[in-house]
Amino acid sequence: MNREQLYQKIQERKSFLCVGLDPDMDKIPPFLKNLENPIWAFNKAIIDATKPYCVAYKPNFAFYEAYGKMGYEALEKTIHYIGNEHFIIADAKRGDIGNTSKMYAKAAFEVLGADAITVAPYMGKDSVTPFLSYENKWIIVLGLTSNKGSEDFQFIKSEDYKPLYQQVIEKVASWTSPNNTMFVIGATHPESFIEIRKLIPDHFLLVPGVGEQGGELESVIKYGRNNQIGLLINSSRGILYASKEKDFDKQAAIQSKKIQEIMAQYI
């Protein structure tokens, strides 16, 4: 899916919501656990309930790899089931020497069919560029993350007084294009969006951390959007685990619609 197609989906659905598919066997409704593949059953119900209200889904690979064969089968089925009408983000946070990154890209884009993959840029340009050889595929680079530990390294300042995360964003943006690169920017740092938009006014930002982690939706939109919205705001736990009862999918739809209705005011 290219940039214009993504923006068209945002306009059509009046939404820039990304639903994070992080299935946790300890949290899914108990009645699903007797099924052959509870993860797949849970994901299918969530997708069916939320697809009118979102433009993207983000399966986090850790929540599938942890369950071995069953988890990987669920991941494959999930991505295939989502199809072409939604932007699919492989949240794998890959990043290694060039030939390894090439294989990671092949797995995400050719085998699984995702539209984008999250990438850790710590190893530099040659670990990032192999992901960019695919037409209409995206990298989503870790810029400023939403977790508490982001303060350990990402805010370290150099002699020019720019924190490390800003240097990473500037450097990666110089290698790539807004048409194939997004950045992860956590909602828990709303004040940082002003400076980030000065550095990368045209890029899309994937924004985790709204809701359970304390990020405020309206603040992110106010400071982070651009003339094509330029945001994919992720919600995982607040949607997935709105209920543990048999109405879990209906409650997920309700929570998704609430977010979509707020977003619609800005489109």
List the domain range (segments joined by +) for residue 78.
3-264
CA distance 48 to 66: 24
- Residues with Cβ within 8 Å of residue 10, at least 6 apart in sequence: 16, 55, 228, 229, 267
Number of domains the chain is built from: 1
| pLDDT > 70: percent of the chain | 91
Q: What is the CATH number of the domain that holds 55?
A: 3.20.20.70
Over the stretch 132-166, which tens digit does the pLDDT of each residue have? 999 999 999 987 655 555 455 545 566 666 788 88
Choose the weakest-confidence range: 105-119, 121-135, 138-152, 173-187.
Answer: 138-152
pLDDT of residue 214: 47
Nearest Cα residue to 74 out of 122, 24, 117, 115:
24
pLDDT of residue 15: 98
pLDDT of residue 160: 66
Question: Can you tell me the mean pLDDT for 89-113?
Answer: 94
Residue with tokens 């037409």: 135
Over the stretch 25-55, which tens digit does the pLDDT of each residue have? 999 999 999 999 999 999 999 999 999 999 9
| pLDDT > 90: percent of the chain | 76
Nearest Cα residue to 82 out of 111, 115, 107, 105:
115
Choice among 93, 102, 162, 258 that is catalytic: 93
137 flagged as catalytic = no
